[in-house]
Structure 1
Amino acid sequence: MNDRPGEGEDTGPQSASGLTIISYLLGGLAFWGGAGWLVDRALGYEALFLPIGLLLGLVGAIYLIITQYVRS
């Protein structure tokens, strides 16, 4: 047992940044890809807005990652 608080724990901002980056990427793809899929279904297209939504989600997620982690 470790009786010292904080020893051996990695709770700083660096430990959460990897999971945050992955969640931004997956969340952007899921949200905007889903929005594109819904637009495709509503307008009767086969696969026009789904790739546009996926690309938009990926670009948006990369933009968020750059603004939060690279510039700071």
Structure 2
Amino acid sequence: MSDKTDKDTQSGKADVWSLISTLLAGPALWGGVGYLIDQAVGGKTWMILGLLIGFVASFYIVYVRHGRS
């Protein structure tokens, strides 16, 4: 019985780390892409747009993977 509880705890920790990494990776990736575009064209808005796209995409991915019951 203890093994099942340990497996449930480990599974819960894995889910939490999956959520955290997804929420951090989206803005980091798309913010970085926006930053590179800003450097190439000399603008200031692409990084902000990339961060927003990253936040929206990562929240959507979290919702699809974990939010639906």
Once the two structures are TM-superposed, the CA of residue 6 in structure 1 deviates from its matched residue by 3.0
**Percent identity over paired residues:** 35
Q: C-alpha separation between the residues in 1 aligned to 2:5 and 2:58?
A: 31
Which protein has the bigger helix share? 2
Q: C-alpha separation between the residues in 1 aligned to 2:54 and 2:25?
A: 8
Q: State the TM-score, normalized to the length of structure 1.
A: 0.81
Segments of 4+ moved more than 6 angstroms:
none
Once the two structures are TM-superposed, the CA of residue 43 in structure 1 deviates from its matched residue by 0.6
Structure 2 counterpart of 1:70, one-letter code: G
User: RMSD between aligned alpha carbons?
Assistant: 1.9
Once the two structures are TM-superposed, the CA of residue 8 in structure 1 deviates from its matched residue by 6.3
Q: Report how many aligned residue pairs link the two structures.
A: 67
Q: C-alpha separation between the residues in 1 aligned to 2:24 and 2:13?
A: 18
Structure 2 counterpart of 1:51, one-letter code: I
Q: State the TM-score, normalized to the length of structure 2.
A: 0.84
The answer for unaligned runs of 5 or more in structure 1 is none
Q: C-alpha separation between the residues in 2 aligned to 1:21 and 1:60?
A: 13
The answer for unaligned runs of 5 or more in structure 2 is none
